């Protein structure tokens, strides 16, 4: 049975851990979240990290997944070296926000923004042989896009909103880690591939009396559509949730 490690048990990490546990042996690692079959480990502590390495150096994990923003770790070089030494394959989550908004569609070939805070860390990670799954905006239970509108975090504009449901991330990871070939690209994008703008979302919420009607505003910046067709070529069975149906559930309209 394959053995995986999930580093970081936050919103996505916990979902992935529970999904993978159905068919695999999985170790969850977190600084502060403890669940069944997981361990507490502060990766920013060099001594604790070295102890973890020694405890697990006898047999390599089939794959490891880093779900947290590794660029925030001062000792990320040691963290990467440790995880790579213990794993046959290493994946890390990235963000589609790292791509330059210079074209109407964003793909894996779109130029990266060298000023982005993840840029140097991702380059280092890729040079070590890792693979990156860049995620669009994550939504789902406890991450309702309607609340972003209610709290004033977003404006009523025609700006494109690129999203991916938390459960769809878990399924994509499951499929990627069980992929039988050796031809997966080192960088992949994941989104639900659906077109929806903040204007449409505001109007939906207004029509159902969920928020007060507000005037449309001009876009303060351009945005692009996140094209996730490449990952679907390798994972043809990957299905993603219908955004409007999920929004209805989150707003308790069905």
What is the distance between the alpha carbons of residues 167 and 140, in angstroms, rounded to a whole number? 8
Give the span between the Cα atoms of 139 and 158, in whole angstroms.
19
Give me the chain's average pLDDT, please: 95
User: 170 pLDDT exceeds 90?
Assistant: yes
Based on the number of CB atoms within 10 Å of its own CB, is 71 exposed (0-12), middle (13-18) or buried (19 or more)? Answer: middle
Q: Which tops the pLDDT comparison, 213 or 103?
A: 213
> What CATH class is the domain 3-139+164-193+225-240?
alpha beta
pLDDT at position 97 is 95
**3-class state of residue 202 by DSSP:** helix
Whole-model pTM? 0.94
Q: What percent of the chain has pLDDT over 90?
A: 91
Evaluate if residue 222 carries a pLDDT over 90. Answer: no
Q: 6 vs 63, 104, 111, 113, 166, CA distance in Å?
A: 9, 34, 29, 27, 15
| Statement: residue 144 has pLDDT above 90 | yes
Question: 14 pLDDT exceeds 90?
Answer: yes
Distance of CA 188 to the CA centre of its chain: 11
- Block residue for tokens 């697990």: 56
Q: Which of 196, 190, 184, 144 has the alpha carbon at shortest distance from 168?
A: 190
| Confidence bin at 168 (pLDDT 50/70/90) | very high
What's the mean pLDDT in 121-144? Answer: 97
CB 6 within 8 A of CB 27: yes
At 37 the pLDDT is 82
Q: Residue 219: pLDDT band by 50, 70, 90 thresholds? A: confident
Q: Is the pLDDT of residue 102 over 90?
A: no
Residues 6+ apart with CB under 8 A from 177: 2, 4, 20, 24, 62, 63, 65, 89, 91
Where does residue 53 rank: exposed (0-12), middle (13-18), buried (19+ CB within 10 A)? middle
- The yes-or-no verdict on residue 208 having pLDDT over 80 is yes
pLDDT at 249: 96
Structure-token match 């990952």, residue found? 231
Instruction: Work out the average pLDDT over 75-91.
Output: 97
Q: Is the pLDDT of residue 139 over 90?
A: yes
Residue 230: which H helix or E strand, with range? helix 229-234
pLDDT at 103 over 80: yes
Q: Is the pLDDT of residue 254 over 80?
A: no
First to last CA, the chain: 40
Do residues 190 and 238 touch, judged by C-beta distance below 8 A? Answer: no
Pairing of strands 163-165, 137-139: parallel
- Secondary structure letter of residue 1 according to DSSP: -
């Amino acid at each position: 049975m394959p053995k995986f490690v999930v580093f970081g048990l936050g919103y996505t990490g916990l979902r992935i851990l529970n999904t993978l546990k159905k068919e695999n042996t999985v170790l969850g690692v977190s600084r502060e979240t403890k669940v069944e079959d997981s361990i507490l480990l502060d990766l920013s502590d060099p001594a604790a990290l070295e102890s973890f390495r020694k405890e697990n150096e006898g047999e390599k994990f089939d794959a490891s997944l880093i779900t947290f923003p590794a660029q925030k770790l001062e000792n990320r070089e040691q963290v990467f070296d440790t995880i790579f030494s213990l794993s046959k394959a290493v994946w890390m989550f990235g963000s589609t926000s790292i791509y330059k908004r210079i074209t109407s569609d964003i793909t894996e070939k779109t130029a990266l923004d060298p000023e982005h805070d993840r840029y140097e860390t991702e380059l280092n990670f890729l040079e070590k042989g890792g693979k990156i799954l860049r995620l669009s905006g994550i939504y789902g239970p406890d991450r309702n896009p309607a609340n972003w509108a209610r709290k004033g975090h977003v404006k009523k504009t025609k700006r494109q909103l690129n999203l991916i449901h938390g459960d769809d991330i878990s399924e994509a990871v499951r499929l990627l880690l069980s992929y039988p070939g050796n031809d997966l690209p080192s960088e992949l994008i994941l989104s639900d591939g659906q077109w929806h703008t903040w204007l449409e979302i505001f109007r939906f919420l207004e029509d159902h009396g969920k928020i007060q009607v507000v005037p449309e505003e001009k876009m303060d910046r351009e945005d692009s559509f996140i094209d996730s067709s490449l990952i679907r070529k390798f994972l043809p069975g990957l299905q993603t949730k219908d955004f409007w149906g999920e929004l209805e559930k989150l707003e308790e309209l069905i």
